[in-house]
């Protein structure tokens, strides 16, 4: 039998003076015959924690670090740098190890026979209701629905919101832990570190191994940030959804930093995509359906290769269908109207010939709209490609400084008809409504200039009746017209379907909007408030001044 591994038990504490002594005692009372140390990091506690911890320093196995408050991630990072063991066992200061924890973990590591830096282990836990003073029937693996026959979770497994133990049940090689924490921006994840840490470790090792034995106690005492016990069952208190975009962004960047062969990198990217889809889906318990999205094809798609055609824009969103205007020689507004009338989606996006939508386009727009501002149109940043298909720029508007916020709401009447706050056509998702229905029904009576400025007019109408949302994510690839210059002056204004600069027909629009408003008074009265009507009159008058 090989040499027994050396363990570091890492305890991070903040104002848990009533618990940290019990955690330390459970760590020191291990029946493990091999070498181990206990590293306790006090993260700026203001209670009696320091006195409790100092009472254990006579034991040479215990080392303590007292630092100013840096959050859980900062405390983990401090402890990882102090630790000397081959493997690190995390222990929250309000939880406990059972006496045979290290012995059983060492046996499991020997069975796995993995390279040291690839060890990532999660074991089961008892869950104790300290308010009532009794364990609950569920173990932690019951809570997170890990089957007892499951030996591991891999990058090929179905997405799971959290297929790991809480810290008291986690074991990682010290090099793995240090590598992740060194890259983790502590200021962005001051708490709930284990959720990000575990996902990053999974991406690096490709798997987390399970030990289906309860070797620790996760204690619920009423002051836990993330869990509670109700009627004898564990219930989570923490909602990960608001933090999901930030977490996924870090994990994508972390994956880029890893030196991995292409097959493993592809598995990691696929897992992140499934995770992103998983956290964005509405729960079936709400009895809500996914909204349908229509993609309207404008312009001449004939002769385009497979990687340029509509199939290149297939969506991960469940309910998407494609319709064709099939009238490339007609005015832009007519093409838009034909696609609109042929579609059934609650939401729709127009796709110019040669442009592409990322697979996540519909999902990301809907997720941001369902949790962000309530608007008539949302738009994203774009990836700019040359007429020959090469990359010109990866994040056009974010890098220009024009789009400064991750999500930016543009209110009705906050801009004039002479201003253009939108990206190209293929980066905008509209929501169907009665006013748009009437716009398209009246298209043939419009001045010719408006018929050739269809996207400009539709966007302006949606913006000033329902508002717009700019999403600082790149979700579309827009192709430059042959011969077009790639500079902000050209790209900051509206263009037509052929990519040529469009001079907005403001005077025609002001006259038409006034007539349209009077003709469709009943529709406007039905769906817009008296305040909107008052503001519209002042705004429209200012456009013609």
List the single range of 8-12, 365-369, 420-424, 535-539 with lowest mean pLDDT.
365-369
User: What's the confidence (pLDDT) of residue 49?
Assistant: 96
Largest CA distance in the chain: 90
Chain position carrying tokens 């020191």: 28
User: What's the confidence (pLDDT) of residue 21?
Assistant: 97
Stretch 453-473: mean pLDDT:
95
User: What's the confidence (pLDDT) of residue 91?
Assistant: 97
Phi/psi for 37 (5° steps) reads: -130, 160
pLDDT in tens, 39-79: 999 999 999 999 999 999 999 999 999 999 999 999 999 99
pLDDT band at 283; cut points 50, 70, 90: very low
pLDDT in tens, 343-353: 889 999 999 98
> Rounded distance, CA 115 to CA 104, Å?
18
| Residue 6 pLDDT > 80 | yes
pLDDT band at 238; cut points 50, 70, 90: low
Residue 172's H or E segment, with its range, is strand 170-173
Neighbours of 328 (CB within 10 A): 15
222: region left, alpha or beta (phi > 0 left; psi from -120 to 50 alpha): left
> Is the pLDDT higher at 50 or at 302?
50
User: What's the confidence (pLDDT) of residue 208?
Assistant: 97
> Rounded distance, CA 193 to CA 198, Å?
8
pLDDT band at 284; cut points 50, 70, 90: very low
| Residue 155 pLDDT > 50 | yes
Stretch 373-392: mean pLDDT:
92
Beta carbons within 8 Å of 477's beta carbon, 6+ residues apart: 355, 356, 357, 358, 382, 383, 384, 385
Most confident of 369-383, 387-401, 431-445: 431-445
Q: Identify which of 467, 466, 494, 450 has the alpha carbon closest to the alpha carbon of residue 352.
A: 494
User: What's the confidence (pLDDT) of residue 14?
Assistant: 95
> Rounded distance, CA 140 to CA 144, Å?
6
Residue 262's H or E segment, with its range, is helix 262-280
pLDDT in tens, 464-511: 999 999 998 899 999 998 888 778 778 888 888 888 888 999 999 999
User: What's the confidence (pLDDT) of residue 308?
Assistant: 54
For the record, the structure tokens of 317 come out as 């969103």
In a 10 Å sphere around its CB, with 0-12 CB exposed, 13-18 middle and 19+ buried, how is residue 281 labelled? middle
Here the contacts of 366-374 (C-beta below 8 Å, separation 24 or greater) are 366/280, 366/291, 366/293, 366/317, 366/429, 367/280, 368/407, 368/469, 368/471, 369/429, 369/469, 370/282, 371/241, 372/407, 372/409, 372/469, 373/407, 373/409, 373/467, 373/469, 374/466, 374/467
pLDDT band at 314; cut points 50, 70, 90: low
| Residue 199 pLDDT > 50 | yes
Q: Give me the residues paired with residue 96 across strands.
A: 217
| Residue 304 pLDDT > 80 | no
pLDDT band at 10; cut points 50, 70, 90: very high
| Residue 285 pLDDT > 50 | no
501 secondary structure, DSSP code: B
pLDDT band at 306; cut points 50, 70, 90: very low
User: What's the confidence (pLDDT) of residue 241?
Assistant: 64
In a 10 Å sphere around its CB, with 0-12 CB exposed, 13-18 middle and 19+ buried, how is residue 131 labelled? exposed
Q: Are 94 and 66 contacting, i.e. CB atoms less than 8 angstroms apart?
A: no
User: What's the confidence (pLDDT) of residue 229?
Assistant: 75
List the single range of 166-180, 257-271, 301-315, 495-509 with lowest mean pLDDT.
301-315
pTM for this model (two decimals)? 0.57
Domains and CATH numbers, the chain: 7-278 (3.90.550.10), 291-505 (3.90.550)
User: What's the confidence (pLDDT) of residue 50?
Assistant: 97
| Residue 116 pLDDT > 80 | yes
422 secondary structure, DSSP code: -
For the record, the structure tokens of 503 come out as 């001079």
> Rounded distance, CA 271 to CA 329, Å?
43
Most confident of 40-49, 249-258, 279-288, 498-507: 40-49
Query: Directed axis angle between helix 454-466 and helix 530-543, to 10°?
Result: 140
Q: Are 339 and 350 contacting, i.e. CB atoms less than 8 angstroms apart?
A: yes
> Rounded distance, CA 347 to CA 217, Å?
49
- Antiparallel, parallel or unpaired: β 96-97 and 120-129: unpaired
């Amino acid at each position: 039998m090989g040499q027994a591994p050396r363990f570091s038990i890492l305890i991070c504490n903040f104002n848990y003076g009533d618990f940290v002594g019990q955690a330390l005692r459970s760590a020191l009372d291990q029946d493990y015959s091999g070498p181990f140390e206990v590293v306790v990091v006090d993260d700026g506690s203001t209670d009696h924690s320091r006195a409790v911890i100092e009472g254990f320093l006579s034991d040479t196995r215990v080392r303590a670090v007292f630092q100013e408050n840096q959050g859980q991630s900062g405390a983990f990072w401090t402890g990882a740098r102090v630790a000397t063991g081959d493997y690190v066992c995390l222990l929250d200061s309000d939880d406990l190890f059972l006496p045979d924890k290290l012995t059983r973990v060492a046996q499991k590591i020997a069975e796995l026979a993995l390279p040291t830096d690839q060890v990532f282990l999660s074991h089961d836990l008892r869950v104790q209701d300290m308010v009532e003073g009794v364990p609950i029937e569920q173990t932690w693996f019951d809570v997170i629905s890990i089957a007892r026959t499951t030996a591991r979770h891999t990058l090929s497994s179905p997405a799971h919101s959290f297929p790991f133990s809480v810290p008291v049940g986690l074991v990682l090689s010290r090099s793995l832990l240090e590598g992740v924490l060194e890259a983790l921006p502590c200021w962005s994840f001051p708490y709930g570190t284990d959720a990000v840490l575990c996902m990053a470790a999974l991406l690096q090792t490709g798997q987390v191994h399970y030990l289906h034995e309860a070797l620790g106690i996760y204690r619920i005492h009423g002051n836990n940030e993330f869990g509670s016990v109700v009627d004898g069952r564990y219930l989570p208190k923490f909602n990960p959804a608001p933090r999901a975009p930030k977490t996924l962004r870090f994990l994508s960047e972390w994956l880029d930093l890893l030196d991995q062969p292409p097959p493993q990198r592809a598995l990691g990217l696929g897992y992140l995509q499934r995770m992103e889809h998983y956290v964005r889906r509405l729960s079936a318990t709400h009895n809500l359906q996914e909204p349908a999205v229509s993609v309207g094809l404008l312009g001449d798609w004939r002769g385009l290769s497979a990687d340029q055609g509509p199939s290149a824009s297939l969506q991960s969103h469940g309910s998407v269908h494609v319709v064709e205007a099939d009238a490339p020689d007609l005015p832009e507004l007519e093409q838009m109207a034909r696609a609109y009338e042929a579609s059934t989606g609650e939401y729709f996006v127009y796709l110019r010939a040669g442009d592409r939508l990322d697979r996540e386009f519909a999902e990301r727009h809907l997720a941001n709209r369902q949790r962000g501002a309530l608007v008539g149109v949302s738009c994203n940043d774009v990836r700019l490609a040359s007429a020959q298909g090469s990359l010109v720029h990866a994040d056009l508007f974010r890098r220009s400084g024009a789009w400064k916020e991750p999500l930016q709401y543009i209110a009705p009447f906050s801009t004039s008809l002479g201003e253009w706050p939108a990206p190209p056509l293929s980066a905008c998702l509209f929501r169907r409504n009665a006013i748009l229905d009437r716009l398209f029904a009246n298209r043939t009576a419009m001045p010719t200039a408006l018929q050739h400025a269809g996207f400009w007019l539709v966007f302006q109408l949606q913006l000033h009746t329902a508002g717009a949302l700019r999403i600082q994510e790149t979700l579309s690839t827009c192709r430059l017209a042959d011969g077009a210059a790639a500079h902000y002056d050209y790209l900051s204004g509206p263009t037509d379907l052929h990519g040529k600069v469009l001079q907005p027909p403001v005077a025609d629009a002001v006259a038409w909007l006034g007539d349209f408003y009077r003709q469709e008074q009943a529709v406007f009265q039905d769906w817009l408030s008296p305040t909107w009507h008052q503001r519209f009159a002042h705004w429209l008058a200012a456009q013609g001044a």
